[in-house]
Amino acid sequence: MPRSVVLVLLAVLLTLTGCEFEWQIESGPPEPAASVGQADVPTGTLEPAAAATALAGLRVAEKTALDGYERGCGDGEACVFGPAWSDVDRNGCDQRNDVLHRDLTEVQVRDGTQGCVVIAGVLDDPYTGEMVPFEKADAALVPIDHVVPLAAAWVQGAAAWAPDQREAFANDLANLIATTRAENSSKGDSTAEEWVPADPAYGCSYATVVVTVKDRYALAVTPAEADALAGLLATC
């Protein structure tokens, strides 16, 4: 019998018998949320069903040549995606630290930086499921991954963009996730037909982020990449 019905019958019985006493009902654990296999994704990421629809609408084309691509910003380099970690949202904190604030727990910040510079924290790495301590002195151990790599974006549409659009893309929090150095190096410039997260439980979420970003920026997918993303979304 449902608990609500039991409570109503108990209340009626107490009224009829004239009994009075103080009692308390424990609410118990909340009902579990509906699970769609999606977790640890940036705000604004499409739900799996919407991502599947968006994927079907993406332009399908083979990757073009990397001609003209230069990620670095050293002397004489083209710096086609702008300076790394620009404060594009003008919140007074660069995008790398914005991602660390979002993706880490137990965050500690450096004094005198208006709460911006993260010096310590703990990352629950979505790509591996591992807990990774972060220390500013070893910051390279927790790099920020471009989920849709910059080189991949270049050969799938970004080469034709204006410089300010490329800079916005490179610093878009929707396309940035903190991870481990090993996973970031393993992924490199790979797309979904070439690389998937080490933790298969994150495959659905990874695909939703990729499709969200590609849909937002009208980037193409290769036939093999489209098939791989569809397969990952089917696990949601």
Q: Determine, yes or no, domain membership for 23.
A: no
The confidence band for 1, taking pLDDT boundaries of 50, 70 and 90, is very low
CB pairs under 8 A, 24+ apart, for 4-13?
none
For the chain, the average pLDDT equals 85
The parent domain of residue 110 ranges over: 48-233
* Contact yes or no for 95/85 (Cβ under 8 A): yes
Q: Determine, yes or no, domain membership for 37.
A: no
Overall number of domains in the chain: 1
The predicted model scores a pTM of 0.82
* For residue 202, pLDDT beyond 90: yes
Q: Determine, yes or no, domain membership for 180.
A: yes
Q: At 173, which amino acid appears?
A: L
* Contact yes or no for 154/163 (Cβ under 8 A): no
Q: Determine, yes or no, domain membership for 41.
A: no
Q: Determine, yes or no, domain membership for 27.
A: no
Here the tokens at position 178 are 């903190």
Least confident residue range of 47-56, 67-76, 222-231: 67-76
Integer CA distances (angstroms), 207 to 128, 165, 176, 198, 215, in order:
15, 23, 14, 14, 12
* For residue 29, pLDDT beyond 90: no
What pLDDT, on the 0 to 100 scale, is given for residue 13?
Answer: 44
Backbone angles phi, psi at 76, to 5 degrees: 80, 0
Average pLDDT over residues 226-235: 98
187/147 Cα distance (integer angstroms) = 9
The confidence band for 79, taking pLDDT boundaries of 50, 70 and 90, is confident
What pLDDT, on the 0 to 100 scale, is given for residue 76?
Answer: 45
**Higher pLDDT, residue 3 or 158:** 158
What pLDDT, on the 0 to 100 scale, is given for residue 189?
Answer: 96
Q: Determine, yes or no, domain membership for 205.
A: yes
Which stretches within the chain are classed as H helix? 3-17, 48-57, 95-103, 150-155, 163-170, 181-187, 203-217, 223-233
Q: Determine, yes or no, domain membership for 110.
A: yes
What pLDDT, on the 0 to 100 scale, is given for residue 207?
Answer: 98
Least Cα distance to 86 among 75, 94, 98, 76 occurs for 94
Q: Determine, yes or no, domain membership for 78.
A: yes
The confidence band for 197, taking pLDDT boundaries of 50, 70 and 90, is very high
